[in-house]
Amino acid sequence: MIHSPEPPRLPPRSLHDLGFAGIEGELRAAGVSAHHAKALWRALYHDGELGLTIRADFLPPLKRWLASSVGEGKAFFLDTPEVADESHSDDGLTHKFLLRLSDGHSIETVLMGYDGRHTACVSTQVGCAMGCVFCATGQMGFVRHLRPGEIIAQVLHVRRVMRATQPDKRLRNLVLMGMGEPLHNYDAVMQALDTLSSVRGLNIGPSKISISTVGVIPGILRMAAEARPYRLAVSLHGATEAERAALVPLSSKWNLTELIAACRQYGALTGRRIFFEWTLIAGHNDSLETATRLAELLRGIDAHINLIPLNPTSGFAGTPSAAGHAFQRVLRAAGFPCTFRQRRGIDVAAGCGQLQASAQGRSTPPSSSAGHGDRSSGVLKLA
C-alpha cells in the first residue's frame, strides 16, 4: 500500500495577527460557523483573555476548535510576551515594561498616566533602520518588524496592568512612538490599529491614536490615500536641509523639501491637522533663528507643533526650559498652536531616546534592543 506524504505543516500563527475577517475565515475553513467569531473576538479583545479554552461561555463547536487548534504545538498561539523587567518613575506616572518576545528579542512599552489620561506608548519594530543620531534605538540598527499581534499584545498587557491596579480608569490613548518607525512597518501597523480601534474590541478611538514618523513619505501619502483616521505626527528636528540632515539620516532619501510637500499634500487630501514633533537639542536646533525658519517652513499648513526637550542620550543634551519657552513664543507669535512638553520618565529611562539603553543592559540579545528617539513616552499629551 502506498502512503501519500503528509502535507507540510505550516508554522503556527498568532490569533492576534488575524483580523475579525481572518478569524471568521479560519473558523469557516474548519467547519465551525463563523457566527462564533464574535464570541472569540470579544474574549480576545474586550476581555483580554489569556486562557481561551477554559471559558465556560463558549459553545461546544468553538471550544472544540480552540482545544484542537490553539496552544503548544497547534496551528495557532496567543501573543503573550513575558515581562522581563518593569520600572516606575519616581512620580509614579510612568510605568515602563521590558517585554520579551517569543524569539528572545525584547521591546519596550510604556504606560503614561498624566493629567488623568492614560496612554500606551508601543513599539513597532525591534530596533530601527532610520539611524537618527540622537536616538538610542537608531544607534542599535534594525533587527526586525513586529507582527500585528506583537503590537496588539503590548496594548493588551498595559490594559491588563491598568485593570489590576486602577480598575476605575480606562486606557483611551495610544501612541506609536516607542521603538521603531511605524510607517516602515506599514501593513502590520495598520492591521494592528484596525483591531485596536474596533468598537467590539479594545475600542480605542481612531482620533486618540497617534502615528509618528520621522518622514517616510510613501507611508504618509498612503495614509492619506487610504483615508486612515489616525493622527499623524511628523518628527522634523531641523528647519533647513543641512540642520535636519545632521540629525536624521533619512533626509538623504527624502529631503526636507519633499517631506514638507508631502505634508501639504496629506493636509489637502485629508483636511486633517498634522502634529509636528520637534526634539529640542541644546546647541543644535534650538535657536530663535531656527524657530523663525520653522514657522516660515510650515506656513499655510494646519499644524500643531510639539516641542520636546531631548532626554539625555550620549553626546546630546536637551534644551533648558527657558530657551524652550522662548522658541515656543516665536512659533506662537507666527500663529501656530505650539506646546512645550515636560520631560517625563527620565528616572526610568522611559523618555525620548532612552528606551534602548535599559533594554540593552539586561537580558536582551545584543542586536535586538531598541529605543525611540523622537517620540517615546511622555512626549505627547493627546486630547
**Alpha-carbon distances, residue 166 vs 95, 113, 147, 163, 254 (angstroms):** 13, 11, 29, 6, 44
DSSP letter assigned to residue 346: G
Query: By C-beta, is 138 or 309 nearer to ligand SF4?
Result: 138
Minimum CB separation of residue 142 from ligand SF4 in Å reads 9
Q: Name the active-site residue from 24, 26, 108, 181.
A: 108
Query: By C-beta, is 12 or 131 nearer to ligand SF4?
Result: 131
Query: By C-beta, is 127 or 201 nearer to ligand SF4?
Result: 127
Minimum CB separation of residue 17 from ligand SF4 in Å reads 23
Query: By C-beta, is 208 or 372 nearer to ligand SF4?
Result: 372
274-280 and 303-309 beta bridge pairing: parallel
263 is annotated as an active-site residue: no
Minimum CB separation of residue 84 from ligand SF4 in Å reads 20
**Alpha-carbon distances, residue 382 vs 117, 281, 365, 373, 375 (angstroms):** 8, 23, 33, 19, 13
Query: By C-beta, is 94 or 369 nearer to ligand SF4?
Result: 369
274-280 and 231-235 beta bridge pairing: parallel
Contacts for 315-322: CB closer than 8 Å, 24+ residues apart: 315/134, 316/133, 316/134, 316/281, 316/282, 316/284, 316/353, 317/281, 317/282, 317/283, 318/280, 318/281, 318/282, 318/343, 319/280, 319/281, 319/282, 319/286, 320/282
Buried/exposed 211-228: b ≥16 CB within 10 Å, e otherwise = bbbbbbbebbeebbeeeb
Minimum CB separation of residue 238 from ligand SF4 in Å reads 13
108 is annotated as an active-site residue: yes
Q: Name the active-site residue from 121, 128, 263, 352.
A: 352
- 316 SS3 class: strand
Under 8 Å between Cβ of 50 and 78: yes
Minimum CB separation of residue 107 from ligand SF4 in Å reads 12
Can you give the binding site for ligand SF4, defined by CB under 6 A?
A: 128, 130-132, 135, 137-138, 179-181, 214, 372-374
131: Cβ–Cβ under 8 A, 6 or more apart, which residues? Answer: 138, 139, 141, 249, 250
Name the residue with cell 498652536: 337
Helix or strand (DSSP H, E) at 174: strand 173-176
C-alpha cell at 246: 545632521
Minimum CB separation of residue 77 from ligand SF4 in Å reads 28
Buried/exposed 125-164: b ≥16 CB within 10 Å, e otherwise = bbbbbbbbbbbbbbbbebbbbbbbbbbbbbbbbbbebbee
CA 168 from chain center: how many Å? 25
Query: By C-beta, is 45 or 316 nearer to ligand SF4?
Result: 316
Minimum CB separation of residue 130 from ligand SF4 in Å reads 4
Query: By C-beta, is 149 or 353 nearer to ligand SF4?
Result: 353
Residues with a catalytic annotation lie at 108, 352
